[in-house]
Structure 1
């Protein structure tokens, strides 16, 4: 339950949405100081309090909630948000990683166009633009890509790296951390594919965290 609380708080602070957009109007307004007011700050704090209260009320074991972990998560997310908004080299790093993910996912468009485009016009005709044509190829492509990365041991190394820091700081496993981090740049359908080899071994708490991380952010397909 403490993990659910943690990532509900992360969602409220808008970390996923801020990171997912390359230069969203909200980010520009806050960065310039033009739209950041006491009212907006209080509204955000009220939202956090409400979500904490809802999560606490719905908890099946309220005594197990580790409030120090929740506080650490809030502090870490606040520091990260400030760095993204005001530290140029941090912005550059996230921009680079975001562009890299977008570039990789754009390969799906090339394959989809090759398979489903009209032989006459060379483009996908409007009747074909549906869920099966626009979304499923992305899922299939990313599932195949993560399988290759797992085969070569790259996913395992990333999970191990994230586990070292996040286990001590936030009591999270490496797989959980990778899935939630993936939601910054990917969609809710693609991010869990990064840890699909670990999903069958996850408990209810970990599965809930993966789902909450996907629902709390907005990116990708």
Structure 2
């Protein structure tokens, strides 16, 4: 050790010490020695166990943490219902989640944000009274959709729950095939819609009647209606209609509030029609599933359509009058009182005949008219030197920007635009049939590639499997585009549905005919926008992980 010198200032008793350098011998092991005892040993074992657990189950632990954060956000969401000043914090929470999870792992999903902005902006610009828009139901309607989409598309347990539910629904609907086979024979599926799909509609509609007879439907609609009324601050008439349309069609749902139709405001009347256009009944949903549409996404789309419809209807036709109904309304479907379950079963089957006959008539009429239109357009195109023009081709170009704004891949926007045109101007069944065909093609191609090592190519709009000399007509779509299409096509907002709605509401409330006629086109557009909004949110949160 070197010398340490000290000096003393004149006139001062303070001694200053200066250190030139100090040599310190470093030990080989600098770790402090702790006295081992029971307490420190127990803590050490816990610490090592935690480290081992984190190293072994890191992915699962992260998933659990995300789920806990989601639960905390849901709790926070409930608290926000009472404090309107927290809208900014709610928006910040959604933005942070998008930034940390969506942008980080799926940056291509940001394309769907364009759709959210476009659809909300469209509803505001074309609102009946933009200055009177109450943003509470609009904001929280979109947030509820976002939360549902996170549960279904971003959490393994949420996806597994809806996937399990979807398989159970498919299994349940398959029992309807027993009756069809008994009546029509084993080859009944050769008649694609008439005998293969419509028996499912009869079977499922009978089941709905049974649930209504024993009171299950009323309880579910009441609870869902109360939840929507609580979250969106909407009236009981609107919330009951929104929840009812998840199970029953746009012709049956208005019967629930038939005594109140002559007293509802214009905004509430618009909401009744919009909810009908934006949703599908249980029987029709069963038909889509029979075509091969994924049941789990179809179920979630049916649930998400309720808050979406309420959000868009309150944006495009805000409340400007005082509503007479702010308390509970008594629901009455107007069905005959059944003496027992068998009577309800029989009535449900008979009532479904009307749905089935309308479906058959619409399919025959639209397919025939579409064939005529396509041949006419093709003839005019040939005369003008532009071959290949068809109704589907025109729709693919017309709805291309709409498809792109929802997040559909650019190479799939043409196919999606064609399906949207078929759904809006024709029937959703044909749109879903085309989507199911493209989905089967993708699965067939994946199976083929696993066996034959990518020996395939595109030829026009079709996929050619070279090793087996097969042609996949229509080609394929990305899985993300398929999911967006499942949500965007979910709804009964077709041109033919306008006539159905008029034929339902006008006889129930003749004195409201001028209002119904004035608002029905706006409600038709709002129903489509609600479906497109749901598709955009699905596109924003789709991640295509292994659990999907």
Q: TM-score range by the shorter chain?
A: 0.5 to 0.7
1:147 equivalent in structure 2: 209
Q: Give 1:145 deviation, angstroms.
A: 1.5
Q: Which has the higher helix share?
A: 1
TM-score, normalised to structure 1, is: 0.63
How many residue pairs match? The answer is 171
Aligned to 2:188: 124
**Deviation digits for residues 171-217 of structure 1, max 9, x if unmatched?**
2513412424x5xxxxxxx6658857527566342221221234755
Gaps of 5+ in 1: 1-29, 183-189
Contact 2:189 2:196 (8 Å CA) reproduced: no
Aligned to 1:90: 158
User: CA separation in 2, counterparts of 1:47 and 1:159?
Assistant: 30
In the alignment, structure 1 residue 107 sits paired with structure 2 residue 175: yes
Give a deviation string over 1:51-82, Cα, whole Å, max 9, x none. 22322343333344322221112222222222
Which residue is equivalent to 1:207? Answer: 273
Aligned match of 1:165: 227
Q: Encode CA deviations 1:74-127: one digit per residue, 9 max, x unaligned.
A: 22222222222333332232223222222222222222222212xxxx32263x
Q: How far apart are the structure 2 equivalents of 1:134 and 1:200?
A: 35
> Where does 1:1-221 land on structure 2 (aligned, <5 Å)?
33=105, 36-37=106-107, 39-41=108-110, 43-117=111-185, 122-124=186-188, 126=190, 128-129=191-192, 131-170=193-232, 171=234, 172-180=238-246, 195=253, 197-198=255-256, 200=258, 203-214=269-280, 217-218=488-489
For normalisation by structure 2, the TM-score amounts to 0.28
Cα distance 1:40–1:95, how it changes in 2: closer, same or farther (>3 A)? closer
Q: In the TM superposition, what is the alpha-carbon distance from 1:150 to its structure 2 partner?
A: 0.7
> 1:206, 1:91 → 2: CA distance?
31
Closer, same or farther in 2 for the Cα pair 1:46/1:156, shift >3 Å? Answer: same
Q: Is the 8 A contact 1:199 1:207 kept in 2?
A: no
Quick check: 2:188–2:195 contact (8 Å CA) kept in 1? no
- Return the index of the structure with the highest Cα Rg: 2
CA distance in 1, matches of 2:202, 2:153: 34
RMSD of the TM alignment (CA)? 3.1
Which fold has the larger relative contact order, with Cα–Cα distance below 8 Å and residues 6 or more apart in sequence? Answer: 1
Q: Tell me if structure 2 keeps the 8 A contact 1:146–1:194.
A: no
